[in-house]
Amino acid sequence: MAGVKFWGAALLAFALTPGSVLAQTSTATGQPSKGEAVAIAGDCVVCHSLPQGAPNAGGLKMTTPLGPIYTTNITPDKDTGIGKWSFEDFDRAMRLGISADGRRLYPAMPYPSYAKMSEADLRALYDYYMKEVKPVRQTNTPNEIPFPLNARWPLAAWNWAAADLSRYVTKPNLDAQWNRGAYLVQGAGHCGACHTPRGVLFQEKASDESGASWLTGFNLDNWSAPNLRGDANTGLGRWTEADIVSFLKNGQSRFGTAFGTMREVVEYSTARMSDDDLAAIAKYLKSLPPAFPSRELAWVSDDTTARELKAGHFDQRGSASYMRQCASCHGVDGKGRSADASKPDLPPLAGNPAVLDPDPASLIRAVLNGVPRLGVQAGTAPDWMPHFRTWLGDAEIADRVAFMRTSWGTRAGPVSVDAVAKMRKATDPQEPLVLRMR
């Protein structure tokens, strides 16, 4: 799953780069109110805040092929925020993508997912923003998409042709926990915005489990958002419900750790959700059948690589490079380093879905730019990973990543030098820096 990260091209193209800002919390009991719980599930604060700015006051720059756009102030300030909005205004923006002044919202705001939310949850969310969030006087930054590409009328046509704006309908043949999980994944959690492939109009190809493409993975903003179906290698087929809950709560499971844009989702959304809701999400995800049953055989560990490395044999390209700078953390056996195998301090590479993914984008990007440590779970979360773009050339990174993808029983395929070069050019060398409001 992911936060609000919609992408596309032409008039509907956006690639979001989320900020990292803590939400305002909570009631006197220390527990979030109902409305704040909805806001946490929707991860609203991440996109509507600057890294060092006031929560929910907007201003985050989103780079698009047509020019930058900026998120808006959603605090209850009456002049610069949404303080004058009625519930009807708020509901129309959340479910239909129409602002209080009648302007169409870009689908960077995932209103096709929020459309599935219940009126009760939307009213609670409205009350939270109007009564619990501190008003901040901060004028919205004008978007920088030039004329005529800034015309918004095509968005009405896009809604008609490509968006499913229906509410979630309970499945009476399935239990309450399953329905709760489906509602969260499809609605407030907007998981499909990242994990479902896009069609020719850059719409999600499916909006729920009835579609064959639902949550089958997608390359988004140079990350490979993984398959969340029941596939053995690249999906959640080997995961238990407890593994999924651990990953969403702590940013880690025995299969790997959260990195890329999923870090913000864990840190500011799922780590703060209730255990009951996380269990419901896990139950729903585990109910999804494999998307590619004929393509995948379950990964089986192979200790050949470990024996070769221990013996000092580095005939395989990338093996010497891996041994010098990766094995101390991830092990010669690729199993990572941990005192508790269920909660690895440093993630395994052997059997890791990100390594097994047919698309090597996430692995290339992690090696190039590193992985910052999760902040909210700093006491238990995996350690940070350094970046290697400064010290390694494209060919050595390609060899190292290819070595990881062809070792310990993994047969995920080669990695081209050109793919590394393109990733180096497309991504930010400052990515490893952790920006958090303190």
All structural domains of the chain: 304-426 (1.10.760.10)
Beta carbons of 293 and 231 less than 8 angstroms apart: yes
Burial tier of 264 (Cβ tally within 10 Å: 0-12, 13-18, 19+) = buried
* DSSP structure string for 77-130: -TTTSSTT--HHHHHHHHHH-B-TTSPBPPTTS-HHHHTTS-HHHHHHHHHHHH
Residue type, 265: V
SS3 45: helix
Beta carbons of 221 and 261 less than 8 angstroms apart: yes
Confidence (pTM): 0.88
Better pLDDT: 400 or 29: 400
Please name which of 232, 233, 230, 202 lies closest in space to residue 218, comparing C-alpha atoms: 202
SS3 220: strand
CA distance 134 to 10: 37
CA distance 80 to 189: 27
Main-chain dihedrals φ then ψ at residue 61, nearest 5 degrees: -80, 130
pLDDT for res 436:
30
CA distance 270 to 248: 5
pLDDT for res 277:
98
SS3 276: helix
pLDDT for res 356:
93
At 234-292, the pLDDT tens digits run: 999 999 999 999 999 998 899 988 888 898 899 999 999 999 999 999 999 999 999 98
Q: Is the pLDDT score of 413 beyond 90?
A: no
Q: Is the pLDDT score of 175 beyond 50?
A: yes
Task: Give, in degrees to the nearest 5, the angle at Cα 405 between 404 and 408.
Answer: 70
By DSSP bridging, strand 256-257 and strand 252-253 are antiparallel
Main-chain dihedrals φ then ψ at residue 199, nearest 5 degrees: -90, -170
At 102-128, the pLDDT tens digits run: 999 988 899 999 999 999 999 999 999
CA distance 27 to 17: 30
At 33-87, the pLDDT tens digits run: 999 999 999 999 998 999 889 999 999 987 766 678 899 999 999 999 999 999 9
User: Crossing angle for the helix pair 361-369 and 394-404, nearest 10 degrees?
Assistant: 130
What is the band of 376 on the pLDDT scale with cuts at 50, 70, 90? low
CA distance 130 to 82: 8
What is the band of 208 on the pLDDT scale with cuts at 50, 70, 90? very high
- Give the rounded percent of residues in the chain with a pLDDT score beyond 70: 86
